[in-house]
Amino acid sequence: MTRRQRTTATGFVHAGSDPTRRHGYVNPPVHRASTVLYEDVAEMDVSQADPLKRAMPVYGRFGTPTTRAFEDALAELEGGYASVTTCSGLAAVTTAVLAYARAGDHILVSDSVYVPTRKFCDSLAGLGVETEYYDPGAGEAIGDLIRPRTRLVYLESPGSTTFDVQDVPAITAVCRPRGIVTLIDNTWATPAFCRPLDLGADVVVHSATKYLTGHADSILGAVVCTEDSFTPVRQAAIRLGQCAGADDVYLGLRGLRTLGVRMREHQRQATELARWAAKQPGVARVLHPALPEHPGHDLWLRDFSGAAGPFGLELEPRFGPEAVDAVLGRLRLFGLGHSYGGYESLVVPTDPVAHRLPGTWAGRGPLLRVHAGFEDLDDLKEDLAAGLAALSPHAGPSR
């Protein structure tokens, strides 16, 4: 297993691209398509016989050459065999899970997953699939939770909002010999900073809405597969009617070309902002894997080659919801809104206590998720300092 195998700068620029196939144009056209016309009946028969609808153009829902260009590039960047495009990141999650989960199965899902992923997994009870949430710190102890009907383990590392880093190689090493499929959400790190297939995972899901497109102008998802996982995932996508719009896949592909450069800058901005934020009055701690005090720092050093833009900002426990509202109300540069991965800085309040199992989240104070964009760092610090200054009238008794 090659750990920390890097996707190179050259890779981002050229992955999956063959301009000679398109008269030399650097970028593929945006294909807008439903119907594909066949030359003759024989060609139609060949396309009908292809179960994965991929050997030749069949129908717009199965993807166009624009889709294929995005899929090929992403698969190469992740070190995968092939990838499958979906209409959103959440659709990538649901398609990947439904490719495997069957009535009577038990699935293990990290307690720190993106909340809509959790809600989807909860809803699987209606289809006879039992979801059990595990402590993201489990590592090889995941083996103790495996049952005869355990079909898959779903990871996300670092976890949404609390940024717990998982021991991915330990978990995949337990699962692989038992035939249990491991799925992992790699939205935070992107292939710029982590390639989970190299760590033993079978399926990687992405919200391409975030860094891959990178400009807050599209909703898109992707599932990257090994040769073994490609057939079930592609089949699930076909059965579910998954497809993405022509402009969105084009923007996804265009985003990949600058991903390496953008991630380096997000890393620089976020790491510096996080270090600074950790020292500000009213802040209990900062949850950012690149900071040495982060509990997952050593695992992050081992398995990742960089750190992305979002991190957690935990306020001191003496502050309540009004204090959080005061901070958010004072910010001018940080936008108040969902998502991340665009060029602009964002902040959003999060509430892990409302969703997680008792005991797997050790925080006590109110939590914010901060995404560092490309604004001037001094401007960002000034804005956040002004926001945090709004805490003081809400201080209450110090504990």
Q: State the residues that interact with ligand PLP by CB under 6 A.
A: 88-90, 93, 114, 156, 160, 185, 187, 207, 209-210, 219, 221, 339
- Looking at the Cβ atoms of 129 and 244, the one nearer to ligand PLP is 244
Min separation Cβ 291 and ligand PLP, Å? 20
Active site residue 325: no
**Catalytic-labelled residue, pool 68, 151, 195, 210:** 210
Active site residue 185: yes
User: CA 252, 257, 258: angle at the middle one, nearest 5?
Assistant: 100
User: From the centroid of its chain, how far is CA 394?
Assistant: 35
Min separation Cβ 263 and ligand PLP, Å? 15
Question: CA-to-CA distance for 366 and 288, rounded, in angstroms?
Answer: 16
Min separation Cβ 187 and ligand PLP, Å? 4
Min separation Cβ 376 and ligand PLP, Å? 26
Active site residue 122: no
**Catalytic-labelled residue, pool 111, 164, 167, 185:** 185
- Looking at the Cβ atoms of 70 and 319, the one nearer to ligand PLP is 70
**Catalytic-labelled residue, pool 100, 114, 133, 154:** 114
Asked whether 244 and 67 are in contact (CB, 8 A), the reply is yes
Whose tokens are 């166009």? That residue is 64
Min separation Cβ 339 and ligand PLP, Å? 6
- Looking at the Cβ atoms of 111 and 316, the one nearer to ligand PLP is 111
- Looking at the Cβ atoms of 348 and 388, the one nearer to ligand PLP is 348
Nearest residue to ligand PLP by CB is: 89
Active site residue 279: no
SS3 string, the chain, reads CCCCCCCCHHHHHHCCCCHHHHCCCCCCCCCCCCECCCCCHHHHHHHHHCCCCCCCCCEHHHCCHHHHHHHHHHHHHHCCCEEEEECCHHHHHHHHHHCCCCCCCEEEEECCCCHHHHHHHHHHHHHCCEEEEECCCCHHHHHHHCCCCEEEEEEECCCCCCCCCCCHHHHHHHHHHHCCEEEEECCCCHHHHCCHHHHCCCEEEEECCCCCCCCCCCCCEEEEECHHHHHHHHHHHHHHCCCCCHHHHHHHHHHHHHHHHHHHHHHHHHHHHHHHHCCCCCEEEEECCCCCCCCCHHHHHHHCCCCCCEEEEEECCCCCHHHHHHHHHHCCCCEECCCCCCCCCEEEEECHHHCCCCCCCCCCCCEEEEECCCCCHHHHHHHHHHHHHCCHHHCCCCC
Min separation Cβ 16 and ligand PLP, Å? 21
Question: CA-to-CA distance for 182 and 373, rounded, in angstroms?
Answer: 31
- Looking at the Cβ atoms of 165 and 326, the one nearer to ligand PLP is 165
- Looking at the Cβ atoms of 219 and 283, the one nearer to ligand PLP is 219
Min separation Cβ 244 and ligand PLP, Å? 10
Asked whether 110 and 133 are in contact (CB, 8 A), the reply is yes
Min separation Cβ 219 and ligand PLP, Å? 5
Whose tokens are 């992403």? That residue is 74
Catalytic residue numbers, as ranges: 61, 114, 185, 210
